[in-house]
Structure 1
Amino acid sequence: MLYKLCGFVVNNALNVLGDKAVDQLQAWIQDPKQEFAQALDQANARTWRVLELAVAGNSMGQWLRQRLITGAERGVLAPVQIWMHEQGEEFRLACAAELCTMRSQQRLTLDISPAGGRHLIAAYTQVPGSEAALANALSTEIQAEFPNLSRFVAEYDNQWLPQTFRYFLKHAVATRPLLRDMLQFKALERLQDTQVQGFSALEQMLTEQGAAIETELQHFGSSIAELQRINAESLAILQAIYTKLSNSHRQGPISPRLSSMLRSSSDVELLQILEQRLQALPAGQLSVEVLDAIGRLAVAVGKFAAGQQYFQQAATVAQAGGQLAAEAQAQYNQYRALLEQQQWDVALAILLQAAKLDPQNLRPFPLDKFQTKRILGAGGFGVAFECYHTWLKYPVVIKTLYREELERDIAEIFREGAILRNIHHPGIIGITDCDYADVAQTRPYLVMEYFPGESLESYLAQHGALSIPQTLVLAKLMAEALHTAHQQGIWHRDVKPDNVLIRMQDSQLQIKLIDFGLAVSGQRVVKTVLSGLANQSILGTSLGGTFQYSAPEQLGNLKAAVGPWSDVYAFGKTLSKALFLTSAPSFDDYIGLGGHALAKLIGGCIVEDPKKRLQDFAVVLEQLNRVTLDNPVFKI
């Protein structure tokens, strides 16, 4: 590469000698005093030194400013520095590292011996026809080993390298009388006055402060070497993490499935080892990619607080680097980790920040149409938000859905939502709208009526089991709602205490069944429970709850179709939970009912064989209507 550059400039300089140019060049190369070779060597060294100064960045720029660098000097350095800044800090550092590598490999040093002179003559006789052709030739030659410098040579001003070399060669020749007398400098004088002033000032600075500049650039080279070591260590950390995470979990917003992915002691140990290695790196050199990756690993092993902190760090680093998309994604991942810790208010604040930075990819639903009040909760397939309709002025609940966790296609769920919208039953939560938050239709959501109650699961945890009369009231309200939905061909598929909302209104119990049709696949439920991951994450807790109430045919234990009888089974299990605080009561629990008809009803609902089970809610209601209620009092 050096000989192409030198040959091009020398060819320009000697073209005034015509046919004698090659003979003269050979004579100079063979000159024992090596005056011409030394002039070339000096010009070459200073050309690359200027480029090193230009790419050294703020630390070197500060050092130069402390030595009162002149405006003329800045006029030469500043355009390159500005261009480098526009390409990004990573590119500038890569160029600097490649320059350091080239210098350490003696790739920037000319061989001024007669043997090196022969390379120069060969390059002299085969020079490109223009600066643009020269830039293309140089770029192609170093592209494989030094791709970033290759890009600089190809994309930046293609006259910069030959002009810089030309200027320093002229001044090197001018200090050697024999060469100066024999050469006319017309071909070397192709610079504007302002450029001449700048190069002249740099020439003086390089001469007067050469030793100091050399020391500073050595320090800079050491810093680049350290950065290379840090980058190698960061890459090793990334590789260690990526061996544990599938492709779908390495990039993009994290999903609930990641939170129950890894739980072995070796996975936790790997996280601890990588955290120690990460702490050994300088804090200012941590990249967004590494912080994001180790945050994902922390979430995958259930260390949600640690994951949230790493995502927070990643967002801070991204913000400092002006990486808006990376900052937004880190904020969103932080929101997911906060959900796992049930820190609803903080999670909502972080989500809104992420959506503001990148609404196209991270907005959960139209935030201008629905004012977000709070997060009501999160489950295996979505998050519920209490919102206020901006235009129609009424409260709603919006449930964002994780389509990858649902058993059925979103289009089918939306179709059933349209049917539910037309079912006006007091025991079924009303669906008012459904849509996608993005054009690509990857982020679905449902809009539902707001019901100010609490889940049956929550009520039982606070107040204990229901009485027989209370359970009968609950049973009839639930059965009526499910029977109505079944008449429209809609099965609930996930009846359980968490999906039953209750409240008292005018001394009367009111219920709302929520999440019709939003069930996770039975295989997914079983796999989560058998792996011991239930109750270790939002997804695990949700699926663990589903497992306790799902019919055998839903879990794949029996080769039978899912139908109304599947909801009957979950209904019976829910009544068991209400009466006994367990979905799997013992024989003694049933004996404690004293032969009450409710025991027979529950027993008929939870038969393992779906053919022997009560088949639908028409039959369930028929039995319930024969039971005497004895004026139950239901207090909440």
Structure 2
Amino acid sequence: MKVCPKCFTRFPDGERFCLHDSSVLVEEEDMARLGTLVGNYRLDRILGRGGMGTVYSGEHVYIKKPVAVKVLHPQFARYTEAVNRFLREARAASSINHPNIVDVTDFGLLGDGLVYFVMEYLDGKSLEDIIEREGAVELHRALNIANQMALALEAAHKMGVIHRDLKPDNVMLLARPGRRDLVRIAHEDHLSDAMVTEREESWDFVKLLDFGIAKVLIPDELTAETVQGAVFGTPEYMSPESARGEDVDHRADIYSLGIILFDMLTGRPPFEAQAANEVLQMQIHRPPPSPREFAPHREIT
């Protein structure tokens, strides 16, 4: 059975989302950890569940600091490569030390094979949620988000880290108080285009998440060989080289950033299909469409 982490309703294993609040369903074992301790951290609430682990909001039991804790799914804990990949995620994020990348503060292995790492707790919304609920993002907002993502990737690439799974769901937006005066054209009188200056209410501070399948180019004892021909990532946001299962470098992240910008401006990625393999074939064989094709009203040039 699957469980909704918000309303606690149970659903058959085939369901993915709660029919009442659209939350991603989790496993019974994820719910069983609520209230328990992982290291010095108490797990209070489930924030989300990904392919390799479940993320909880929690608190350090001694200093009462709120945190997010990612716990590796138990079925992966017995596989050395899965554990190594999970630890690479923790080390990759912590080694970059950039304000636009989530800060990893602790990680470890427990006696029963449980693997976890601790991150700063972020009170915000994912870019995926914004696009899903509001559609295309305004130009100045999209450029601000893309610019911060580019700065974060530049820092990661200098450290030899490739994200390899950039997508809107891995981009968290935190609201910050307004800092700029915005100028717009007012059309009230239809006779002149008067310029109006307004103070922005807030702006988006970007945090890049989830280096779960990051490839660390600097070798050490945790680095395993990448399997040639294996496809890592999310099809809608992959470069053609990634879709072919080729070994990739930092340019794959730059390509994915371009797709996310396309998504923000049009409200959808360049290629969509029912089956993941269809999307992969589109990425490999079709030239990217113009954003004007999907959003002519945006007057993109």
Is TM more than 0.5 here? yes
Q: CA deviation at 1:377?
A: 0.9
Q: CA deviation at 1:436?
A: 1.9
Q: Distance in 2 between matches of 1:584 and 1:432?
A: 36
Match of 2:102 in 1: 429
**Which residue type is aligned with residue 255 of structure 2?**
Y
Q: Distance in 2 between matches of 1:304 and 1:568?
A: 31
Closer/same/farther in 2, CA of residues 352 and 475 from structure 1, 3 Å limit: closer
Match of 1:460 in 2: 131
Q: Distance in 1 between matches of 2:54 and 2:248?
A: 26
1:583 aligned counterpart, secondary structure: coil
Match of 1:563 in 2: 249
Q: CA deviation at 1:594?
A: 4.1
User: Who wins on radius of gyration, i.e. which is larger?
Assistant: 1
Q: CA deviation at 1:553?
A: 2.2
Gaps of 5+ in 1: 1-253, 255-297, 306-339, 356-362, 527-542, 597-636
Q: CA deviation at 1:518?
A: 3.1
Q: Distance in 2 between matches of 1:341 and 1:459?
A: 15
Match of 2:259 in 1: 573
Match of 1:342 in 2: 24
Output the aligned Cα RMSD: 3.7
Closer/same/farther in 2, CA of residues 422 and 379 from structure 1, 3 Å limit: closer
1:383 aligned counterpart, secondary structure: strand
Q: CA deviation at 1:477?
A: 0.5
Q: CA deviation at 1:592?
A: 5.3
Please point out which of 380, 399, 410 is paired with 2:70. 399
Please point out which of 210, 235, 243 is paired with 1:547. 235
Match of 2:182 in 1: none
1:486 aligns with 2:181: no
**Which residue type is aligned with residue 148 of structure 2?**
L
Q: CA deviation at 1:513?
A: 0.3
Q: CA deviation at 1:444?
A: 1.7
Q: Distance in 1 between matches of 2:107 and 2:141?
A: 35
Q: Distance in 2 between matches of 1:452 and 1:341?
A: 17
**Which residue type is aligned with residue 554 of structure 1?**
S
Q: CA deviation at 1:485?
A: 0.8
Please point out which of 576, 582, 607 is paired with 2:268. 582
Match of 1:75 in 2: none
Cα distance per residue 1:149-208 (max 9 Å; x no partner)? xxxxxxxxxxxxxxxxxxxxxxxxxxxxxxxxxxxxxxxxxxxxxxxxxxxxxxxxxxxx
Match of 1:380 in 2: 51
1:176-325 equivalences in 2 (<5 Å) = 299=13, 302=14
TM-score by length of 2: 0.65
Closer/same/farther in 2, CA of residues 407 and 592 from structure 1, 3 Å limit: farther
1:553 aligned counterpart, secondary structure: helix
Q: CA deviation at 1:419?
A: 5.1
Gaps of 5+ in 2: 2-11, 179-202, 216-226, 272-288
The structure with the greater share of residues assigned to helix is 1
2:128 aligned counterpart, secondary structure: helix
Q: CA deviation at 1:381?
A: 1.6
CA contact (8 A) 2:47 2:57 kept: yes
**Which residue type is aligned with residue 417 of structure 1?**
A
2:165 aligned counterpart, secondary structure: coil
CA contact (8 A) 1:389 1:396 kept: yes
Q: Distance in 1 between matches of 2:80 and 2:228?
A: 8
Closer/same/farther in 2, CA of residues 417 and 459 from structure 1, 3 Å limit: same
Cα distance per residue 1:580-605 (max 9 Å; x no partner)? 11111744237655454xxxxxxxxx
Q: Distance in 2 between matches of 1:413 and 1:350?
A: 21
Cα distance per residue 1:276-329 (max 9 Å; x no partner)? xxxxxxxxxxxxxxxxxxxxxx73xx2689xxxxxxxxxxxxxxxxxxxxxxxx
Match of 2:41 in 1: 370
1:479 aligned counterpart, secondary structure: helix
Cα distance per residue 1:85-144 (max 9 Å; x no partner)? xxxxxxxxxxxxxxxxxxxxxxxxxxxxxxxxxxxxxxxxxxxxxxxxxxxxxxxxxxxx
Question: Identity rate of aligned residues, in percent?
Answer: 29
Please point out which of 175, 190, 194 is paired with 1:504. 175
Q: Distance in 1 between matches of 2:95 and 2:140?
A: 32
CA contact (8 A) 1:475 1:575 kept: yes
1:465 aligned counterpart, secondary structure: coil
Q: Distance in 2 between matches of 1:482 and 1:349?
A: 32
Closer/same/farther in 2, CA of residues 522 and 474 from structure 1, 3 Å limit: farther
The structure with the greater share of residues assigned to strand is 2
1:92-111 equivalences in 2 (<5 Å) = none
